[in-house]
Amino acid sequence: MSGTPPPTRRPGRGPGDARAPRIGTPGGPGASRAPGTPATILHVDLDAFFAAVEQRDRPELRGKPVIVGGGGPDDRGVVSTASYEARKFGVRSAMPLRTAGRLCPDGIFLPVDGTKYQAESRRVMTILRRFTSRVEQVSIDEAFLDVAGSEALFGPPEQIARRIKAAIHDETGLTASVGVGTSKLIAKIGSDLRKPDGLVVVPPGEEAAFLAPLPVSRLWGVGPATATALAELGVATIGDLAVLPPDALTRRFGKHGADLVERAHGIDRDPVHEPDAMKSVGHETTFDHDTSDPEVLERTLLGLSDGVAWRLRGMGIRAGTVVVKVRDSGFRTVTRQAPLPEPTDLAEPIYQAALALARPEMRGKRIRLLGVTATHLDAPDQLGLFSADEDRRHRAMEAADALKRKFGDRTIVRARLLDKGLPAPFERDPSSPLARRGVDEASDEPEPVTREREPDADAGTEDV
Ligand code: DCP
Ligand code: MG
């Protein structure tokens, strides 16, 4: 996924042409990590995924501005994605279809075919697992891999990245962009930098130099409010941030400030997690202003539940329990959990359970933060969407329907969330180590009351 448009585009290149620029100055200001830390983490992200699948299946659409996301430019929905040809006109994910129609009058508008994209996603993830078992899928079209230990079979990480791109292209007809580095953060930013069909390798020690020219908003944990606060300190690029005295940032942002300095140097200690190590999937949102407005609170819970369900479906797993987290304006935090009527990967039952749990905790209070987490996750679904098993098939279709709803009514919810300055559920921080502690930590015991300013006050929606 890419939050911001890539700065360089090279449409039309095949995977064989992908260049892997080495960015940074050896021994220069970027030499911030211990020499010898291996760059074995890959981030793989498909290019214009939904639109690329449609262009592959309908050759007449190739080279054309394709906009996936609903009935057409008069539809009330939003854009799911646009081909790179359409992006030249300024069309972007989450934009109202009407705006897309204005910007790109010759755009070809197509409905979302969730079942088809899920099946493609599974094919691609299966290809990735041939190169290592350490694959962490983080959305329908992206995954982190740690290829340490795979070199004997497949060569060094850069070669593995090339092989992956070629295999995806040969076997599915789609292109992927790959970033390679010492951390998830570097790999993720790398994969986004030269889309489409990009390959960016950041050698160990060159992380800070690689990041330095990029806008600070590219870093995880820098939402609009942090970006504004940093701008007041004269910080526009990640390089500006990296040279600030860490204690100045800690004074201003608490522990979050110290984390930001680490990230500005490309340091991110979160390892790649295999699905069976994952105990929970969650999102949480801190409001720009504390609120007691029931509509805002319920809409936020719905958006969070949807983000969680989307990720469950992407990973082929279901949740048995929902946990909500509610923090009020006095920083009192409670978590409440309840089992689901049956394991699910759908937004609706997760939302209903989250609402029932959160409602009594929100009553009469101004709310600062809400979180929804799914736990008691079952094993990855190995049977796939089109198993002969009727029950599974039924479930798959239900999920596909929910996906369609998501891109109709539900994306309007997402657009409304965006209006409120809240990040969409897609924009999360896959690095948060809390994500892995999961179930066992959810309890009915309130966390200690904190009086300090919340460090990640505007980090927005992220994994918990
Ligand atoms: N998606 C969506 N709504 C969003 C963002 C994404 O429906 N707001 C869907 C459509 C995308 C898919 O998820 O095709 C993958 O998301 P990405 O952010 O990876 O976007 P693309 O793959 O389309 O483009 P890119 O080449 O920038 O990765
Ligand atoms: Mg993508």
- The number of the ligand 1 atom at minimal distance from the alpha carbon of 69 is 7
Please indicate whether residue 179 or residue 252 has the higher confidence score (pLDDT).
Answer: 179
Helices marked H in 29-113: 49-57, 84-87, 97-103
User: Is residue 216 exposed (0-12), middle (13-18) or buried (19+ Cβ within 10 Å)?
Assistant: buried
* Whether the CB of 94 sits within 6 Å of ligand 1: yes
Q: What is the pTM of this model?
A: 0.64
- Would 1-211 and 275-441 be classified into the same CATH topology? no
> 275-441: what CATH class?
alpha beta
- Using the mean position of ligand 2's atoms as its centre, give its distance from the Cα of residue 109 in Å: 19
Q: How confident is the model at residue 220 (pLDDT cuts 50, 70, 90)?
A: confident
Ligand 1, atom 12, residue with closest C-alpha: 49
Q: Do residues 61 and 50 lie in contact, with contact meaning Cβ atoms separated by under 8 Å?
A: no
| % pLDDT > 70, the chain | 73
What's CA 46's distance to the chain center, in Å? Answer: 13
Domain limits of the chain?
A: 1-211, 213-264, 275-441
The answer regarding whether domain 213-264 maps to CATH 1.10.3720.10 reads no
Residue 301 has pLDDT above 90, yes or no: yes
Q: Do residues 344 and 381 lie in contact, with contact meaning Cβ atoms separated by under 8 Å?
A: no
* Whether the CB of 45 sits within 6 Å of ligand 1: yes
- The number of the ligand 1 atom at minimal distance from the alpha carbon of 112 is 7
- Using the mean position of ligand 1's atoms as its centre, give its distance from the Cα of residue 426 in Å: 9
Residue 15 has pLDDT above 50, yes or no: no
Ligand 1, atom 24, residue with closest C-alpha: 48
Predicted pLDDT at 400:
53
pLDDT digits (tens, 9 = 90+) for 258-299: 889 899 999 998 999 876 656 889 999 889 889 999 999 999
Residue 443 has pLDDT above 70, yes or no: no
| Whole-number Å distance between alpha carbons of 435 and 431 | 8
Determine the topology of domain 1-211 in CATH: Alpha-Beta Plaits (3.30.70)
142 part of the active site = yes
Give me the residues paired with residue 143 across strands: 44, 137
Ligand found nearest the CA of 414 = 1
- Using the mean position of ligand 1's atoms as its centre, give its distance from the Cα of residue 49 in Å: 6
- Using the mean position of ligand 2's atoms as its centre, give its distance from the Cα of residue 71 in Å: 22
* Whether the CB of 306 sits within 6 Å of ligand 1: no
User: Is residue 394 exposed (0-12), middle (13-18) or buried (19+ Cβ within 10 Å)?
Assistant: exposed
**In which order are the strands placed within the sheet that holds 280-291?**
280-291, 367-377, 319-328, 333-344
